[in-house]
Amino acid sequence: MALAETEQLTKMMCGAALSRAVCTLGELGISDHIEAGVPQPVESLARLTNTHERSLYRLLRFTASYGVFLEVEDRKFDHTPLSAALRSDAAGTFRPAAQMFHHIFAAWDGLDHSVRTGESGCVKVYGEPLFDYIGHHLDLAPIFDAGMTAFHGHETAAMLDAYDFTGITTLADIGGGNGTLLAAVLGRYPQLRGILFDLGHVVGRARSGMQALGLDQRCSVIEGNFFESVPAGADAYLMRHIIHDWTDEQSIRILSNCRKVIPAHGRVLLVEFAVAGGNQASLGKDADMIMMAFPGGMERTEAEYQDLFEQSGFRLSKLTRTKSAVSVVEGRPAP
């Protein structure tokens, strides 16, 4: 085999090292100990983070080779835009995203099981589905919520710029997590009312968040399980990165529960990657691997969303692309 191929394959197989290294930086909070423009010697970083100096140096030298930190002089590190984004106080901080993966990384060990059986890696590794596992390890739950905000927060403005919510009276955010997405939509549309719906252990944080933003009068926070039912009373049901967590059968159950309560003029709005076929790399295809190993769902094509809609009493009425990698897939009740 040619040197180029062996080196390329070796690099791909070492991809896990880069992922784990960045997650470890987030877990250890290394970025918090450097002010941009004030390089820090690894010796003091090791002291401040209670880590092994030589190993920390090797970690930083490695991540710096991918643009996460910059070694400015011997064993002194300064920020780059990527390392600064891992600071806890960065706008839209990515630290919780790194911490989230750090804590559930083991699910990747089940990827071969997923490919063989179609079951999620989580079930193989942790013995239960992802959201049950989080429900049984409540220390993980706020990290997961914050991780979602880090990964998907930037999609909110892109969605609001691309999709017009005018005409909606009450917007239900199903699986709305800590409520940051719904709060942003309510902020942009002052006449709109909101319903935030999520599992029992999540809604407490959402409720406090809405109160802190002064939105509790315009938004009810409801606890429940979307496989059983979703709240009535909204004319639009928003689900961002919900359907991608689930198999077709489970997704049809969620959508059918929306169909039971949606008015004839209502709409469902799925904010998801709409993956394209072909050989182009994309965030959607990366996320699809995560869906396979973690919750056991999948990123779908536009045609696959159309199928899901048809099997749950909707028709795909519009797909709106945004400046970010996600699209808004709109469904209307089929007559």
Ligand X SMILES: C[S@@+](CC[C@H](N)C(=O)[O-])C[C@H]1O[C@@H](n2cnc3c(N)ncnc32)[C@H](O)[C@@H]1O
User: Using the rule CB under 6 A, which residue among 184, 199, 261, 290 binds ligand X?
Assistant: 199
Tell me if residue 244 is catalytic. Answer: yes
**What are the backbone angles phi and psi of residue 231, rounded to the nearest 5°?**
-65, 140
Chosen residue from 79, 241, 267, 300 binding ligand X by CB under 6 A: 241
Residue 45 contacts residue 56 (beta carbons within 8 Å): yes
* Span 124-163, contacts to ligand X by CB under 6 A: 131, 148, 152
Smaller CB distance to ligand X: residue 66 or 227? 227
d(CA 218, CA 326) in angstroms, rounded, equals 27
Smallest separation, CB 106 to ligand X (Å): 19
CB 174 within 8 A of CB 238: yes
Minimum separation from the CB atom of position 199 to ligand X (A): 5
Residue 172 contacts ligand X per CB under 6 A: no
Residue pointed to by tokens 């490919």: 115
Number of continuous H segments (helices) and E segments (strands) in the chain = 15, 10
Q: Does 198 bind ligand X (CB under 6 A)?
A: yes
Q: Which two tokens stand for residue 227?
A: 């496989």
What is the enclosing helix (H) or strand (E) of 240?
strand 236-240
Q: Can residue 176 be called a binding residue for ligand X (CB under 6 A)?
A: yes
Choose the binding region for ligand X from 84-92, 112-120, 159-167, 235-243 (rule: CB under 6 A).
235-243
Q: Which of 227, 265, 286, 315 binds ligand X (CB under 6 A)?
A: 227
Asked if residue 300 binds ligand X (CB under 6 A), the reply is no
Cβ closer to ligand X: 104 or 181? 181
Question: 3-state SS string over 272-330?
Answer: ECECCCCCCCCHHHHHHHHHHHCCCCCCECHHHHHHHHHCCCEEEEEEEECCCCCEEEE
Query: Amino acid identity of 139?
Result: D
Active-site choice (103, 136, 244, 265): 244
Chain position whose Cβ is nearest to ligand X: 175
Cβ distance to ligand X smaller for residue 59 or 182:
182
Q: Which spans of this chain sit near ligand X (rule: CB under 6 A)? A: 131, 148, 152, 175-177, 181, 198-199, 202, 225-227, 240-242, 245
